[in-house]
Amino acid sequence: MQQLTITRPDDWHLHLRDGKLLETTVPASAQTFKRAVVMPNLMPPVTTVDMALAYRQRIIEALPAALTFEPLMALYLTAETSADEVKKAAQHPHIIGFKLYPSGATTNSAAGIKSVEALAPVLEVMQEQQVPLLVHGEVTDADIDIFDREKVFIDRHLLPITTQFPQLRLVLEHITTGDAVDFVNGSNDNVAATITPQHLLMNRNDLLVGGVKPHNYCLPILKRREHQLRLQQAALSGSSKFFLGTDSAPHVKANKETACGCAGCYSAPAALELYAEFFDQHKALDKLENFASVNGAAFYGFERNQQTVTLIRKPWSLPASLDTADGVIVPYYAGQSLQWQMTKHR
């Protein structure tokens, strides 16, 4: 196969940041994706509908006129989130749901949740209003090994939540373990998961062998090979419970290459090509369209996009770095070759 045309995809987990950096991040995603769920972990966090709509307007203002793009805004769930705010979010077409960050789990998560159990009243309203809960599924206890934090979060928090609130629509974001695959497969149809390109293409060897590689550092952290294989099997299975969410997260080079480097891989410049690389490696390009363009829209209740995108088999390499208003950013897969290139929309 030398050419592949699929329904234009959506990115169900995306970080755009804010300010002048939007002039880089918005076009990078909009050139490929029709819709994207925009994460709310700014400083200060996006905790209300009004804040989310103001942020959305800044994103729209950074969108080149030639591109069509629909930002779907996630609100940052806090201990102060009210039932009224949930109901307000439920009524607005540009709000997709609430994002649960355990406090300290990732970038700008200090305002996150310290007691998942205390969320029960708000989760009750979210279930009633059919407002999705998007979950960064890791505990942050200092005594829990970083490679076990996803499994512990599932056992300690997600299993009780899905038992207590069986009609709550829940997306476990950027899954990294076989335990997460088993949780999603073992749950009802209200539970789904996103998978990033880095967790399909890499494992912890790619982070640690031969020296720490900070531009492959993300949270949840890359896991061992056996977990990577389980994620690959999930993506290749054709199950509608698993779909594309890049978790593309830009950080300037100076902040990545430090003693306490930032977590996040900026995959937006080649997002669809990275997924095509994975599916092609496994001789499963026929599975790419459902994973990238169908499953997520169906879960969230959206119509399938009418546009298409075309990929051609044409080897190319990502640039070593990108200049932005905030400084130099090293993209995920920098300098490495990809076999597929997106050429056009229709």
Question: 261 or 32: which carries more pLDDT confidence?
Answer: 32
**Confidence band for 346, pLDDT divided at 50, 70 and 90:** low
Q: Does 144 score more than 70 pLDDT? A: yes
Tell me whether the omega of the peptide bond preceding residue 44 falls within 30 degrees of 0, making it cis: yes
Question: 168 or 141: which carries more pLDDT confidence?
Answer: 168
Give me the pLDDT at residue 104, please: 63
Residues designated catalytic: 247
Residue type, 247: D
CB 215 within 8 A of CB 292: no
Residue 285, SS3? Answer: helix
Give the closest residue to 137 by CA, choosing from 93, 189, 96, 99.
99
Give me the pLDDT at residue 112, please: 63
Give me the pLDDT at residue 289, please: 98
User: What does the buried/exposed string (b/e) look like for 253-273 if buried means 16 or more CB atoms within 10 Å of the residue's CB?
Assistant: bebbeeeebbbbbbbbbbbbb
What's the pLDDT tens digit per position in 81-132?
999 999 999 999 999 999 999 876 566 556 666 778 889 999 999 999 999 9
214 by Cβ neighbours in 10 Å (0-12 / 13-18 / 19+) ranks as: middle
Give me the pLDDT at residue 111, please: 61
What's the pLDDT tens digit per position in 202-261?
999 999 999 999 999 999 999 999 999 999 999 999 999 999 999 999 999 999 999 878
> Which parts are annotated binding residues for substrate?
15-17, 41, 136, 219, 251, 263
Give me the pLDDT at residue 105, please: 59
What's the pLDDT tens digit per position in 41-75?
999 999 999 999 999 999 999 999 999 999 999 99
> Which parts are annotated binding residues for Zn(2+)?
13, 15, 99, 136, 174, 247
> Which parts are annotated binding residues?
13, 15-17, 41, 99, 136, 174, 219, 247, 251, 263
CB atoms within 10 A of CB 105: 22
Domains of the chain by start residue, with CATH:
9-309 (3.20.20.140)
In percent, the amount of the chain with pLDDT more than 90 equals 91
Q: 70-76 and 133-135 as β-strands: parallel, antiparallel, unpaired? A: unpaired
78 by Cβ neighbours in 10 Å (0-12 / 13-18 / 19+) ranks as: buried
What mean pLDDT, rounded, does the chain reach?
95
Q: Model pTM?
A: 0.96
Give the closest residue to 88 by CA, choosing from 47, 143, 134.
47
Average pLDDT, integer, range 188-199: 98
